[in-house]
Amino acid sequence: MLYLVGLGLADEKDITVRGLEVVRNAERVYLEAYTSILLVDKEKLEAFYGRPVIVADRELVESGSDEILNGAKDVDVAFLVVGDPFGATTHTDLVLRARELGIPTKTIPNASIMSAIGCTGLQLYNFGQTVSMVFFTETWKPSSYYDRIKENVKMGLHTLVLLDIKVKEPLLENLARGRKIYEPPRFMTVAQCARQMLETEEERKEGVYGPDSLAIGAARVGAPDQKLIAGTLKELTEVDMGSPLHSLVLLGKRTHDMEKDYIEEFALNKETFNAAWKKGYTAAS
């Protein structure tokens, strides 16, 4: 059997009891370590699970999946995914490959950033499409996310923006020379995301959002030092939310008064928060 086991969001203790049973009984245990990260390192997981863990980078999962699936018709293999195995990352390709090989699969779900973001007090029902923000470069500033946000904004819905992480990405110039040297890991911050969002608005000028739009930065959701900060996009460009992982929620106009009361608690500056709210979010606007 191939088991896809969700690990939850923070540390080694977020695995479910059922997930832990699978890990303890599996012949081999892989950790998918490139679409999201736990806030503790592999050694801590190994100590808690009592099992060695093989780190599966993008290369192994995308090109070497047969190695992961090897023998899984006869023995159990556990494939650990941070968050939920089907939350924001889909490992459908691995499951399809297993199916082709006649290997049965089972999924053990867990909390995902897609559900845990409810800790902001915003109703999950009132979210539109989730979007991803990639690191802009001098020559590459993709703005397809802006079109998705535009659709959400039209319907008054909140947008969850997931932020780029780069773990074990080969450096381009080395790829060209056929050598594998990896970039140091990078994790986008809320401030960087807010800056890029305003940069896109400046370029596209469709008035989807602006410096006074309200948003919430969410860092290390589910961890003991989880941090939430609400403010205008302009304010968030300057905010320091500490270590990874970060996400951002752009507030929809359909925000309920009760949602507003809840998030006001996290406002960086209650005065500017309320001014922006009055200007752009009340029924009269």
Between CA 54 and CA 62, with CA 56 as vertex, the angle to 5 degrees is 150
User: At its nearest, how many Å lie between ligand SAM and the CB of residue 128?
Assistant: 17
Q: Are 103 and 111 in contact (CB under 8 A)?
A: no
Q: Which of 20, 122, 194, 218 binds ligand SAM (CB under 6 A)?
A: 218
Distances (CA, A) of 71 to 3, 91, 258: 13, 19, 53
User: At its nearest, how many Å lie between ligand SAM and the CB of residue 191?
Assistant: 13
For residue 175, cis peptide bond before it (omega within 30 degrees of 0): no
Quickly tell me which residue has 């479910």 as its tokens: 16
Looking at 62-70, 75-83, 176-184, 258-266, which segment touches ligand SAM (CB under 6 A)? 75-83
Residue whose CB is less far from ligand SAM, 35 or 107: 35
Q: Which residues pair with 250 in a beta bridge?
A: 159, 215
Counting contacts by CB under 6 A, is residue 130 touching ligand SAM?
Answer: no
Give the helix, strand, coil percentages of the chain, each rounded to 5: 35, 20, 45
Print the binding letters for residues 224-253 with ligand SAM: x by CB under 6 A, - otherwise.
Answer: ---------------------xxx------
Q: Which of 19, 222, 231, 252 binds ligand SAM (CB under 6 A)?
A: 222
Residue whose CB is less far from ligand SAM, 190 or 276: 190
Q: Which of 94, 163, 198, 230 binds ligand SAM (CB under 6 A)?
A: 163
Counting contacts by CB under 6 A, is residue 91 touching ligand SAM?
Answer: no
Residue whose CB is less far from ligand SAM, 132 or 143: 132
Q: Are 7 and 38 in contact (CB under 8 A)?
A: yes
Q: Which of 208, 221, 241, 263 binds ligand SAM (CB under 6 A)?
A: 221
Q: Which of 72, 95, 162, 267 binds ligand SAM (CB under 6 A)?
A: 162
Q: What single-letter amino acid sits at 81?
A: V
Counting contacts by CB under 6 A, is residue 89 touching ligand SAM?
Answer: yes
Q: Are 268 and 244 in contact (CB under 8 A)?
A: no
Counting contacts by CB under 6 A, is residue 38 touching ligand SAM?
Answer: no
Q: How many Å apart are CA 279 and CA 274, to the nearest integer?
A: 8
Counting contacts by CB under 6 A, is residue 119 touching ligand SAM?
Answer: no
Q: What single-letter amino acid sits at 93?
A: D
> What are the two backbone dihedrals, phi and then psi, of residue 143, each rounded to the nearest 5 degrees?
-125, 25
Binding residues: 9, 84, 87, 112-113, 163, 221, 246
The pairing of beta strand 227-232 with beta strand 214-219: antiparallel
**Closest by Cα among 55, 3, 57, 6 to 26:** 3
Q: Which of 2, 4, 5, 9 binds ligand SAM (CB under 6 A)?
A: 9
- Binding residues vs ligand SAM (CB under 6 A): 9, 35-36, 81-84, 87-89, 112-114, 162-163, 165, 218-222, 245-247
